[in-house]
Structure 1
Amino acid sequence: MTGYFLQAFIYLLAAVVAVPVAKRFGLGSVLGYLIAGLIIGPVLGLVGEETNAIQHFAEFGVVMMLFLVGMELEPKALWHMKLRLLGLGGLQLLLTSAVITGIAMIAGLSWQVALTIGLIFALSSTAIVLQTFQEKGLQQTEGAKGAFSILLFQDIAVIPMLALIPLLALPELASAINETAGQNAGHGDSLVEGLPGWLYGLVIIASIVFVTVGGHYLSRPLFRFVASSGLREIFTATALMLVIGIAALMGLVGLSPALGAFLAGVVLANSEFRHELKANIEPFKGLLLGLFFITVGAGIHFATLFENWVLIISITLGVMVLKALVLFVIALLFDLKGSNRWLLTLSLAQAGEFGFVLISFAAQNNVLATDLIALLQLVVALSMFLTPGLFILFERVIMPRYMHGSGSRQHDTIDDKGSVIIAGIGRFGQIVNRLLVANDFKTVILDIRSEQVDLMRQIGTQAYFGDASKPGMLDTAGIKQASLMVIAIDDRETAVEMVKYVKLAHPELKLLVRAFDRGHSYRLRQAGADYLISETYHSALEMGAQALRSMGVHPFQAERQKHAYRDIEAQQSDVLYEAWKDDASGVRFDNNYRELFMELQQLIDDALKSDLHDNHSKRRGWTPPPKGYAEEQLKNQKD
């Protein structure tokens, strides 16, 4: 028992140390997990043969991930994306497997082995790609949507691959497979072993129907019954039971557990318990996926790698380059532009976790020899290990190239000059610009999103494509003649750096800056911003007042509550800022700050509960309605 505890401690310690360090250096959590596994495995030798067994257990994280992915897709949405699924996904799988199969046959392998290798390398890593998309906020880009379609098609295609591989068996490997089968006999982990083909097909159909119909009709009464107990841990157990049960059923009938989980997720996408299910499954998914990536890093056999390092690295890079070329061509065919084309190309250039499944399955079914299996496993693992580097390349080299206009579109030439420069013309900047223009103030608008600039021009708003964080662009926009600059961009760090530069180069210029949250506003204030507006603060106050009115609170009382909240917040703003500034790091919130913040919350609570009727006449900016105003309005509405 102590040995298990020690192994668990080593894996967890490696993750706790390596992942935060990797995140701090912008490498992403996936690369952190892979590095952790590499250190505790091949480098230090702290873990050994148990890595393979743990990897099989950790693969359940992939199953959970596909269950959650399925819950994000309603059946109607899945039907609407059928063209992209079949077009992008089908074309990628067909072209990639065909090219790699052809090259493998030229290298002297039999067509059965070559085709198997082509199918293995045609798959990409759903776990790494979707995890990285989520971490870097790329899910809504066209490139990420295209990549998701391809990954989804690949995951579905694993089923026919598993059905095809036994037909590719090589007679010369039959004796080895029979011996292995004899050693594993009696395990009883399959319900379809020895069944004729027609009956096997019926069992598969029945299993899929059961998951679909049962998920729709049986899960709701079950969840209602469990929810009525009021015990959260039982609901968590039920969610895990559901996913594990579906995975086990799919495994017993010879199908992919991940596909069964994905299908169940799609069925439950419209369930009223969807959010609760996600909340319960998410922590287990994240932990098991992390464990899976650690085992991939720990499973790299340096001895085999050193013996054939030229061959293995050449194959790995060759596979990644070939997949990237195929993906780039597909991106061109489907008219993906700019950085989206490169995101699709680079994100899917690796082999995937299902490659390990296909390699193992092919070995069991008399298709791949032992020496070839070790080589293929190393290629799959190394390509996954290199994938975070491709995302770093995209984020730090390719994305800035398109964002800063050094790619296909050059910065606009600015002929106008104005008294106000607005950086960012999104939903926030548009409102500010309309108010200024309506009062006859001349504005010069800059934005690095070419599509947003074109949209503004279509609706009659003059905007220029350019990077406002570049001093030269600000000079061209007439910053020396301007009286005010509004910074309303979406990049927090860039906004802080812009404030620092402008206040240093043009200290007389007033800076009005949008802040994302309290911590960001403190950093902007420290950098020298003159006016700070939180993007959600005032809208949240308005919604809170409207919520009170909707619950029957008198409009006058709701307005007083809103003003009381705003007054207390304004009074304590300087105190909180000074406490934050005194902290050595300037980023974290220490105990002194937390205590002051809790005091602020208490002051607000006390003010909202107190009777402010005597003070409302002193408030400026809002005149309370006359007596009987609310009743009169209700009467008019009824009439």
Structure 2
Amino acid sequence: MDHPAALPFLRETLLFLALVGILIPLLQRFRINQVVGFLVVGVIAGPYGSGSLAAEYPVLSWLTFPRQQGVQVLGDLGVIFLMFLIGLELSIQRVWELRRWVFGAGAGQVLLSGMVIGGLAWGFGNRPGVALVLGLVLSLSSTAVVMQLLVESRALATPVGQASFSVLMFQDVAVVPLLILVELVGKDSGSGLFQKLGFQMLASLLIVALILVLGPRLVRVLFRTLARRRQPEVFTALCLLVVLSIGGATAAAGLSMALGAFLAGLLLAETEYRHEVEITVEPFKGLLMGLFFMTVGMEIDPREVLREPGWITVSVVGLLAIKAIIAAGVLRASGLRWGQAIEAGLLLGQGGEFAFIIIGAGVAAGALTHPIGQFMFLVVSLSLLVTPVVARLAHRLGRWIDADTVQQQREVHESRLPGASGHVVVIGFGRVGRMLGEVLAAQQVPYIAVEHDGDRAARLREQGFPVYFGNAARVELLRKLKLDEAASLVVTMDSPSAARRVVKAAREQAPQLKIFARSHDEAHARELEAAGATCVVPEMLEAGLLLTSHALESQGLGAPAIENIIAAERTRRSGAPA
């Protein structure tokens, strides 16, 4: 009797999970960039590495990936969800706050780098459409690598970090037309190419615009209807539904599923459910990144380096130099000092993860030949491998160039581009929280609020309040709120136990943060103070003391005497200083 076939590519899936389970802790322990680590392991274990020896040594077939087919299936899944995660981290509000840098420095860097690199590709005999794709693709940098390096060095809030972040945001936005362009180039290479591309690009952008206009309304209705009880499994199911549905829609329209996944992340990023969705997918983030970059490594043939070592080396150095020079010049013109501009330029010199996606799509669509695609894979991969070393050298070089600037040290710690820090976090946006938010807004103080009631959060969001839905007692959500950069945290929740958990979790995450909390009575106030609150305001006590002061005033007591009585009573009941 025949048994049913096993799950397709089960061996590859199990081996991948085992490798990721071993790799992630090791890379974190030795502070090795995860992107670089996964790429190297993918090359070693892939069909062009030790997997090529599986036929001669059968035992290797259990420890490597000798078949390209299984790798491709895993890679397609990794591309879809990596694009979703990148879209989810891209906020239109954040782009607008940094618009001068995003659309000034970011656009300048991409266009100038694309023109120079594309011109070189055309000079080497590539068709105009192929040269255009290569130029724009290689102008992009690695969001995953650069952001990890900035976070590890705690430089994200410095001028270099914020300028680099702004350029990366523009590059993320530029991926949408690039994904469309590469597929259109592959479909048509005849005369009148650019005119036809223009019309087809316009039609594709109209489809994307339609998704971005209608999508938010449909997504909000879907989440409000099905996610009222805030169950994690419901959020996971809804995320998968949104990603695969929009991906399927773009695929049906003749575009890629990767583009649809990116749009799905972008749609969810603009809803009140953004942070809760981020927390839901957070446990899978490292796994999905590992899946993508490991499969990219498996598609790289290291033997190509031995065939053309000179051209590979020149291309890698040339890519880093061209992008660094152009980015440094653009950032210097945008207002950074020379040392800062050169540091940021070198940090952005490598190729990016989008290059793997777009080059792979280009090869599949026929826009790029396989040899060109393989060569570009190698150039981008090697540029990523050397980026951590280049980043350390760039930091030292930048400090040395700006060593004579008197205000350098002050700017390293204090200078911020718009929206970088100093905000107030409000937990609970009922009557008290809303009043606080209105006052902060009137005084132009930036704040962000979290509300556990999904319907209320949705209504407030529609009214223009910066309110997100979520459980603020979760450590993952507090990290998303950037407590380490906040001026203060205000807890106005009705539930005493929930407020205590939030204060305790926030104090553990940000030991120096000022935490102001509302309590119901004196006992609750003492619990919040024990949990780490800087200042607690018991609403019943303060209301009673205010009424008492009015009553004493009616008896003819003077203001100083009333203040002393009220202060003594406040101290006796709550332990607050007189």
CA separation in 2, counterparts of 1:320 and 1:226? 48
- Taking a change above 3 Å as real, the CA distance of residues 68 and 136 of structure 1, as seen in their structure-2 partners, is farther
Shift of 1:233: 0.8
Which structure 2 segments of 5+ residues have no match? 1-5, 52-63, 416-483, 485-505, 533-540, 554-578
CA separation in 1, counterparts of 2:413 and 2:388? 32
Shift of 1:391: 3.4
- Taking a change above 3 Å as real, the CA distance of residues 6 and 205 of structure 1, as seen in their structure-2 partners, is same
Shift of 1:237: 0.5
Specify the code of the residue in structure 1 equivalent to 2:305: L
Is 2:383 the partner of 1:383? Answer: yes
Shift of 1:379: 1.8
Shift of 1:88: 1.2
Contact 2:246 2:261 in 1 (8 A): yes
If the length of structure 2 is used for normalisation, what is the TM-score?
0.63
Contact 1:212 1:264 in 2 (8 A): no
**Alignment deviations for residues 261-287 of structure 1 (CA, whole Å, 9 cap, x no partner):** 555545444533222111112223331
**Alignment deviations for residues 578-609 of structure 1 (CA, whole Å, 9 cap, x no partner):** xxxxxxxxxxxxxxxxxxxxxxxxxxxxxxxx
Structure 1 stretches of at least 4 aligned residues deviating more than 6 Å after TM superposition: 169-174, 195-200, 452-455, 539-544
Q: Which residue is 1:54 aligned to? A: 74
CA separation in 1, counterparts of 2:357 and 2:147? 19
Specify the code of the residue in structure 1 equivalent to 2:235: F
**Equivalent position to 1:99, from 84, 92, 116:** 116
**Equivalent position to 1:141, from 158, 171, 182:** 158
Q: Which residue is 2:89 aligned to? A: 69
- Taking a change above 3 Å as real, the CA distance of residues 373 and 550 of structure 1, as seen in their structure-2 partners, is closer
CA separation in 2, counterparts of 1:448 and 1:165? 43
Shift of 1:362: 3.5
CA separation in 1, counterparts of 2:227 and 2:278? 15
Q: Which residue is 2:522 aligned to? A: 553
CA separation in 1, counterparts of 2:180 and 2:414? 50
**Equivalent position to 2:403, from 406, 409, 421:** 409
Specify the code of the residue in structure 1 equivalent to 2:173: I
Is 2:179 the partner of 1:155? Answer: no
Shift of 1:91: 1.1
**Alignment deviations for residues 197-256 of structure 1 (CA, whole Å, 9 cap, x no partner):** 9798557525532443331x2323322222235643122111221122223323332446
Shift of 1:59: 1.0
Contact 1:124 1:151 in 2 (8 A): yes
**Equivalent position to 1:450, from 410, 424, 428:** 410
Is 2:99 the partner of 1:82? Answer: yes
Specify the SS of the correspondent of 1:59: helix
Specify the SS of the correspondent of 1:238: helix
- Taking a change above 3 Å as real, the CA distance of residues 19 and 314 of structure 1, as seen in their structure-2 partners, is farther
Contact 1:243 1:261 in 2 (8 A): yes
CA separation in 1, counterparts of 2:203 and 2:181? 17
- Taking a change above 3 Å as real, the CA distance of residues 131 and 200 of structure 1, as seen in their structure-2 partners, is same
Q: Which residue is 1:32 aligned to? A: 37
Q: Which residue is 2:329 aligned to? A: 329
CA separation in 1, counterparts of 2:39 and 2:546? 65
CA separation in 2, counterparts of 1:155 and 1:562? 42
Shift of 1:97: 1.6
Q: Which residue is 1:606 aligned to? A: none
**Alignment deviations for residues 133-152 of structure 1 (CA, whole Å, 9 cap, x no partner):** 34544332322322233223
CA separation in 2, counterparts of 1:127 and 1:56? 18
- Taking a change above 3 Å as real, the CA distance of residues 381 and 254 of structure 1, as seen in their structure-2 partners, is farther
- Taking a change above 3 Å as real, the CA distance of residues 562 and 273 of structure 1, as seen in their structure-2 partners, is closer
Q: How many residue pairs are counted as aligned between the two chains?
A: 430
CA separation in 1, counterparts of 2:200 and 2:410? 58
CA separation in 2, counterparts of 1:381 and 1:92? 21
Which structure 1 segments of 5+ residues have no match? 175-194, 413-446, 456-515, 517-534, 570-627
Specify the code of the residue in structure 1 equivalent to 2:88: L
Q: Which residue is 2:20 aligned to? A: 15
CA separation in 2, counterparts of 1:254 and 1:171? 14
Specify the code of the residue in structure 2 equivalent to 1:63: M
Specify the code of the residue in structure 2 equivalent to 1:15: V
If the length of structure 1 is used for normalisation, what is the TM-score?
0.58
Contact 1:54 1:295 in 2 (8 A): yes
**Equivalent position to 2:50, from 44, 49, 53:** 44
CA separation in 1, counterparts of 2:294 and 2:250? 26
**Alignment deviations for residues 382-418 of structure 1 (CA, whole Å, 9 cap, x no partner):** 22333333334446x45xx73xxx5533699xxxxxx
Please say which structure displays the higher CA radius of gyration: 1
| Paired residues for 1:157-556 under 5 Å | 157-165=174-182, 201=202, 204-215=205-216, 217-228=217-228, 231-255=231-255, 257=257, 260-269=260-269, 271-337=271-337, 340-364=340-364, 366-394=366-394, 397-398=396-397, 402=399, 407-409=401-403, 449-451=409-411, 547=517, 550-553=519-522
**Alignment deviations for residues 466-485 of structure 1 (CA, whole Å, 9 cap, x no partner):** xxxxxxxxxxxxxxxxxxxx
Specify the code of the residue in structure 2 equivalent to 1:68: L
Q: Aligned residues: percent identity?
A: 29
Shift of 1:69: 1.2
CA separation in 2, counterparts of 1:352 and 1:254? 25
